[in-house]
A and B are shown apart, each in its own frame.
Chain A
Amino acid sequence: MTSHLGLMLIFSFFVSTVFAVLTRDEPRDQLVFGARLFGGFVGAGILIGWLLYPLPL
């Protein structure tokens, strides 16, 4: 649970939940937007992690 990936998943879940509820009014919209945000956070985290993998050169 305290792995880098696990903590990123938990952090992404909390932040996307708050943003989705903050910016959308209907529960269905909140769910859809929250899922998209969560996917975006996790995908971007993994992508940037791989891009940084060769650093420092």
Chain B
Amino acid sequence: MRAAAAHRTQTASTIYLICAVAWFVPGAGHIWLGRRQKGIVFLLALTLMFIFGLWLEGRLFPFQIAEPLVALAAIADLGIGCPYFVARALGVGAGNVVKITYEYGNTFIIAAGLLNMLVVLDVFDIAKGRK
């Protein structure tokens, strides 16, 4: 099934839809394309990493164009997709700058978002039939 899915190329609109789903729910793109084991690992690892970052009192950075590094961190945070919006809706991710784990929390959250972006690129390649 996996081999069949890997060789099946998708139409352009379907590819972008799969990438959007892969971004919104980490691992969902791989599951869609029949790579269930990879998808489940991404779903668990990236979501746990993001939650861990919040638990360490890291911050979900705001989009401040005046401060480019903060804006870049905000884009990286957004890379995780759905968990970002859930965290925002729940009011977590304010960050506690005096906590010793603050920078670690930021690192976990940012890395989770950036890794999910890599996962989306992998989904794009698979959907294109390159892998």
Contacts and interface: CB of A to CB of B under 8 A. Distances in A.
Contacts of B48: 14
Contact of A22 (B101, B107, B118): B118
A19 B118 CA distance: 9
A2 B101 contact: yes
Given A2-B101, A10-B52, A18 B108 contact: no
Contact of B45 (A2, A7, A18): A18
Given A10-B52, A11-B107, A18 B46 contact: yes
Interface string B32-56: 0000011001100110110010001
Contact of A11 (B37, B41, B42, B108): B108
B41 A17 contact: yes
B116 to A, nearest CB: 9
Interface residues of B, number: 21
Contacts, number: 41
A2 B56 contact: yes
B115 interface: yes
Contacts of A10: 52
A49 interface: no
Contacts of A27: 37
Given A11-B111, A14-B45, A14-B111, 17 more contacts: A2-B100, A2-B101, A7-B56, A7-B101, A7-B104, A10-B52, A14-B46, A14-B49, A15-B111, A15-B115, A17-B45, A18-B41, A18-B42, A18-B45, A21-B38, A22-B118, A22-B119
7 contacts: A2-B104, A7-B104, A11-B104, A14-B108, A14-B112, A18-B41, A18-B115
